[in-house]
Each structure stands twice: as structure tokens, then as C-alpha cells.
Amino acid sequence: MAAYLCPPAVIHGEYAVETSQIVAEVRARHPHAAWAPRIDGIAASTGIETRGWMLPLETAVAPGNGGGLRAVGIGPAQKALVRDGFSEQDVDRVIAALDAIPAPQTVQERTAPAWEAVQSYGERAARGALQIAGLDAADVDCLITSHSTTPALPGLDIALANRLSLRDDVMLLPATQWACIAGTRSLALAADLVAADPERVVLVVIAEALSTTYQAADDTLESLIVRLLFADTGVAAVVTGRPRRESVLRLDAAWHHTLPGTHDLHRLETRADGTHFVMDRRGPRAVQETVTAMWEWLRLRYQDDPDSWHPDVLLAHPGGTRVLEYMEQTMPDAWPSGLLDHSRDSYTSGNRGGAAVFDILRRAYDAGQKPGSRAVLYAAAPGLTATALEGEWL
């Protein structure tokens, strides 16, 4: 396996949403929640002060276009009032008052504008990545796409094929359920594709509108945490089978791991008011198991040189600070400190899901890496599944 990666293009959500804004909105909506007295401490523990969204906070919390009564049906309500002896005039007044009660947004109201934004951000990132790589859309042989919170058919692959005017023989590989491992797993797939044909040019595009999981009516502690964590991002990068002048990282090996019986720990649920991201408190411990398995993969890969080999940078999207801390605690003592600095820096502006590793990679590239430096890329996702890659800076 040898694949060459050009620097990624990263498009951050253009609407800055402060943690203080989210706290104020949640506190006003759920003043009597069991966790309400602790909300400031919970928010501070995330380490996130602001995050970028594709749409403003006001859009996420706005009521739906239909009144509350329309959600259950005006006709049955009218019949019930007439049956109880109300006059026609009284019925009209009551119906008007009840219908003025705000209703939650529907799935369509939440998803439609986000899907438009996902396509726009994906296109901008794709054009940026091609420009960085010194290529044109006509040079692309394969397009890999991922987006997890805006289901659509046709998906992002078809949308970008049209928006970018790709050749009609381009291989389109959409992956809408990779979620947080989209960054590493798409690169692993791209590496396999160029290994089969080194002349291939693979464009990877990931666009995540994770803010669509912001569900204002939910009053669970887990829902509060979800509202505080997620950011929206579009990313893209070019992978080739031969080194280019613009190539910055050679990918040498990939590793995949899935934990059986953990499919219920993190999941998306589609309900009448949109997409809900549901988390179980056992999740971080399960993610830690994949980290331990990755250390073992690296140990076996470099068992002939265990004392001198170590990564010079670790680009990891584990989903939260607890797992970052666990990684630091369990990596070999001889490894240098600061391997996760770029991962932590990225996380301070939100969990970017599948786009995270590309964002972290871009931060590492912008900070400057010496040729020959070893890099490990890692991500874990609902499933629970993980993918890692190991390579060298050029």
C-alpha cells in the first residue's frame, strides 16, 4: 500500500455559535431539568467555546411553519368542539388560538436547508482540494463522498458529479453511514483504489451538517451534551497512486477494527421532528477499547524496532476529551509529548464528525511537518468501529 495525499481543503461553518448562546437557549427552555443547576459546569467541561454551523442557531430552534393544532388535525378538533355545544363563532376562535401554538419543525423543515448547505459546502471543499492539488475536475477518476445527518437519494456523490461537471465515467462511491470514521476510512479505500491502478486520481469529499441533531425540545442530559458538541464542516482532499509535487503525506498501511455488541451505544434516530443523535454513557469506554487495539496493531507493525519507532504526530478523532486523555495515558512512555496537540486544537471548536481528521490534518500541515515525520491517523464511529492509517510526511 502506498498512496499520496495532497493537503485537504477545509470549509468551516460560516455561522459562529457561542457556547454561551446554547447555554442561554437551553436554560430558558428547560429551567426545571434535573441537570439545570450544573449546566455551566457541563458546558465548560466540553472545552468548546464556539463552533461553526452551516445555518444559524435561530434556524435550529425556530418553530415549524405549521401550528401545533395542524400536527394533530384541525378537523377532529372542530368536530369535538361542535359536539360539546360550542357555536360556530366560538369554534373558529378556539381553533385559531390553538393553531397559534408553535409546533416543532418537521423532518423536512430541518433537513431540506441543511441538505442544500451540505451540497454547497461539499462543492466548495472539492473545488478547493482540486486547486490545491493542481488538478481539474476532468482529472478525477473516482469520487468518494460521505455525509451522515442529511439522508438523500440521489446523494452527495451525484450532486457533486453534476455541480463539478465530472466525466461521465467517474466511479462514484457514496458512504452516508461512515459518520466519524469517514475521514480515515475514505483514505483507506482511496489507497486501495490507487494501489489497484496507480494512475487513478481519487477525490474525497465529506460534508457534515451535524447541527441538524440540535433538538431544542429534548430535556435529557445526553441531548444537552449533543447540543454542545457538534460543528458543521465541509472537507475534501485528493489521493493519487504516484507522488505529485503537491503531495504532503504518503499512506503506508491501514487498520480496521469493529467491536461486536456495541451498535446501540451511539446512533441516529429519525423522528417526527428530525434527526436525534443518541449516546450511551458506556460509549467512551468502548472507544477506549479500539484505542488499545490500535496500539497493539502499531506494536506488531514495528515489533522489530520497538525502542526507536514512534509517531511524530497523532491525528485522532476519538469523539471527546475523555478518550484523548485515555490515549495520552496509554501510549508508550517513550513517545514524545504533544502528539495530540492538533487533535485537541481542532476539538476546541467542536466535534466535526467525519470531517474531523481532515481538519486535524490541515492544522498539522499548516503548522509545518518535517519530511520523514511519521503520522498516525485514527477515528472511531458509531458501530462501534474504528479505522487508522500510518504514513510519512513528504
Pair (168, 30) in one structural domain? yes
Residue 120: its pLDDT value, please?
98
Active-site residue flag, 180: yes
- As a whole number of angstroms, the distance between CA 144 and CA 151 comes to 16
Residue 100: its pLDDT value, please?
59
pTM higher than 0.75: yes
Final residue belonging to a domain, choices 188, 216, 240: 240
Pair (26, 51) in one structural domain? yes
CATH number at residue 282: 3.40.47.10
pLDDT confidence bin for 150, thresholds 50/70/90: confident
- As a whole number of angstroms, the distance between CA 21 and CA 40 comes to 12
Pair (125, 266) in one structural domain? no
> Do the domain assignments include residue 79?
no
Tallying the residues shown for the chain, one arrives at 394
3-state secondary structure of 358: helix
Q: Which of 268, 3, 343 is nearest to 144 (CA)?
A: 3
Cα-to-chain-centroid distance, residue 334:
32
Pair (35, 138) in one structural domain? yes
E-state strands within 150-264? 171-174, 201-209, 232-240, 249-258
For the stretch 219-231, pLDDT in tens is 999 899 999 999 9
Final residue belonging to a domain, choices 182, 210, 240: 240
> Do the domain assignments include residue 54?
yes
Q: What percent of the chain has pLDDT over 70?
A: 92
Pair (223, 159) in one structural domain? yes
Pairing of strands 142-146, 50-53: unpaired
Owning domain of residue 158: 3-62+105-240
Query: Is residue 390 within 8 Å of 375, Cβ to Cβ?
Result: yes
Query: Is residue 374 within 8 Å of 312, Cβ to Cβ?
Result: yes
pLDDT confidence bin for 204, thresholds 50/70/90: very high
Query: Is residue 315 within 8 Å of 5, Cβ to Cβ?
Result: no
Pair (185, 289) in one structural domain? no
Pairing of strands 201-209, 50-53: unpaired
Pair (213, 288) in one structural domain? no
Catalytic residue among 54, 117, 140, 180: 180
- As a whole number of angstroms, the distance between CA 296 and CA 32 comes to 47
Number of domains in the chain: 2
Helical segments of 230-355, H only = 283-301, 321-330, 341-347
